Amino acid sequence: MPAMLANSLTLSSTAQIALLSLGSAVFYTGSMAAMKLWTQTHSTLLLVIIATMIMAGTGLEIMALKAERLGMIYVTILACEVGLIALLSCLFFGETFTTKEMLGCLLIVIGTALAWA
């Protein structure tokens, strides 16, 4: 019975690639936020956080690249980053976007979704 449960919880290859890409984007986005903070305070801890997040994002990206083409992984991670950075910059850094900028971000995400469809 436990083996059946484990098999039913197994993610499809596409879902695994999506999670690896999203995870990579989360780490890259975190490193970008830390870089933004670095412009305000030159903390050694921030350098360690930036380096760690970039390495973690790279590790997940390499795992995703084992299963999918470079171009698809690259645009998927970038599309996830676009959404995450937009959200983060609004919520934590008080930045705003013009309608044209928001539409540009949306087109990137839609284009990536179409590429996977």
**How high is the pLDDT of residue 73?**
96
- What is residue 2's predicted lDDT score, i.e. its pLDDT? 46
Bigger pLDDT: 57 or 117? 57
Check whether 4 has a pLDDT greater than 50: no
Tokens of residue 114, six digits: 């179409």
Cα torsion angle, 57, 60, 66, 70, sign: negative
Mean pLDDT estimate for the chain: 90
What are the residue boundaries of the structural domains of the chain, listed by start?
13-116
Q: What pTM was estimated for this model as a whole?
A: 0.86
pLDDT in tens, 73-109: 999 999 999 999 999 999 999 999 999 999 999 999 9
